[in-house]
Every structure is written in C-alpha cells, then in structure tokens.
Chains A and B, each alone.
Chain A
Amino acid sequence: MPYNPALVAPMREEMTRMGARELTTVSEVDAALGDQQGTMLVFVNSVCGCAAGNARPALRLALQHGVRPQQVVTVFAGQDVDAAARARQYFAEYQPSSPSVALLRDGEVVHFVHRHQIEGRSPQAIAADLTAAFDRFFAAVA
C-alpha cells in the first residue's frame, strides 16, 4: 500500500529539484523509455531511508560531474506502482530493487546499480561509482 502522499512529497521534490523528470504513469514511462535515444539515467525512488536517503543525495552529487546523462527520469516504487512496474520492464534482465539506478544508452541498459550496492554507503561513495559509470558509458556521447 502506498505511503501517504504528503509523506513522500519531499522525496519527490528532492528528485525534481536536481532536474529529474518524474514519470508517474505507464504512458509517461513509455514515452520516455520507448525508442530511447542518447543517454538516460532512470532512478527508481524509494521511501526506504536506509538506502534511498543516501541514494538521492548521491545522485545530486553525481549530476554535478562533467559527464552526465542527457536525460534524468525517475519513477517511485511503491507509490506510482504501475509506472514503476512498466519502467522495470525496460530493464527486465535485472531483478527489481529500490532504490536502484539504470543507465541507458540508445535503449540499452549499460549499467545498473542495485539497492544492495547503495545500502550503508555514503552519498560520496555512491556518487563516485556513478560518475565512474558516466565516464565509462556516457563520455563518448556527452
């Protein structure tokens, strides 16, 4: 059952403040991820403070890096249930977890960060991993 919208509103705002575009419906997900071109980061948001509480600031830090995805979108697991499920169909090779991060290039998942790779780590450490992935997979098209 989704949390009270008022409770999660700050978690949504944290994402949109850093420039992420929220995808809250299946059609919005399909419009963004279907026939995706260029580079994109998909952040699967979560209410879990143990992991998402560090993942969101990590992403904010990572997006200040010189090389970054051309588009940043987010779905909210457990809140926008249908949209999150649809987004996960675009990276179905990977088991669902939240928070998580998928890096896509021309519709192909080139890197995936699972919840277990976020848990218990500092935002700086998570951001360092993300920026390394940006450099590796996005530098040529940034």
Chain B
Amino acid sequence: MSGHVFHPGHQELHGVTVVLETHGPRTYVGRFDSEDARGVHLHDVGVHDASAGGQSREEFVRRCDKFGIRPEHRDLLVPAADVAKITRLVDLVR
C-alpha cells in the first residue's frame, strides 16, 4: 500500500497541517481540509490569540511543531475575509 492515497481529487493542501494567519490577532494551526467561497475548512485546530497575552505566536507555533497540536476545535471554518496567509507548519519552523 506504499504511496496509496485515500483522498484523490482534493486540493493540494488537503490533509496537510498548516498555519493559518488571519488579519486579526488569531492564528490557527490545523489540518487543511478544503477552501471554498465561505473560507478555509480545518480539522483538529489549535488557536493562538495574540490579544490574550501569554506565549508569542512564534513560541506557540514552535511548541505545535515539537509537541503536536492541542486541538480546541474538531472542525473549524475560517471565513475567507479573515484569511491572511496559509503556510505549511513544517515550512514555517524549518
């Protein structure tokens, strides 16, 4: 079953863990499902809110890479208007 893909026809990032930066204080780290007119659909999503104080966004992302993502949302739709940037987690920390 090497190389077998169960998700044919999906978007390039489908199944990939991404960092989604918004135009606001929130950053999401989760598994990309799809993107449509409503926005970006993510699974198993951790959230960083820069307005809440605490660890920096960079530290949050670094800890997600080292220890994994502590999901606060099983499924999340980030509205299209809020999406500023989407980057693979591994690309952001390397």
User: Are A and B co-members of a single complex?
Assistant: yes
Q: Give me the interface of A with B, judged by CB distance under 8 Å.
A: 10-11, 14, 47-51, 53-54, 56-57, 93-97, 112, 114-117, 119-121, 123
Give Cα distance in the complex from A47 to B7, angstroms: 11
> Across chains A and B, which 7 residue pairs bring their CB atoms closest together, nearest first?
A95-B68, A116-B17, A50-B15, A49-B5, A49-B4, A49-B6, A10-B1
Question: What's the interface size class on B, roughly?
Answer: 20 to 34
Q: Give me the interface of B with A, judged by CB distance under 8 Å.
A: 1-7, 14-17, 65-71, 88-90
Flag if B1 contacts A51 (CB, 8 Å): no
**Chain B interface helix/strand/loop/mixed:** loop
- Tell me which residues across on chain B come within 8 A of A11, comparing CB atoms: 1
Flag if A53 contacts B90 (CB, 8 Å): no
Flag if A50 contacts B69 (CB, 8 Å): no
Flag if B2 contacts A14 (CB, 8 Å): yes
Could you give 11 example pairs across A and B, Cβ below 8 Å?
Answer: A14-B2, A47-B6, A49-B3, A49-B6, A50-B7, A94-B67, A95-B68, A116-B17, A116-B68, A119-B16, A119-B17
Give Cα distance in the complex from A112 to B69, angstroms: 13
19 extra interface residue pairs, beta carbon distance < 8 Å, beyond A47-B6, A95-B70, A117-B90: A10-B1, A49-B1, A49-B4, A49-B5, A53-B1, A53-B5, A56-B2, A57-B2, A94-B68, A95-B69, A114-B65, A116-B16, A116-B65, A116-B90, A119-B15, A119-B17, A119-B90, A120-B88, A120-B90
Q: Closest CB of chain B to A83's CB: distance in Å? A: 19
Cβ-closest chain A residue relative to B15: A50
- Tell me which residues across on chain A come within 8 A of B67, comparing CB atoms: 93-95, 112
- Tell me which residues across on chain A come within 8 A of B17, comparing CB atoms: 115-116, 119
Flag if B2 contacts A53 (CB, 8 Å): yes
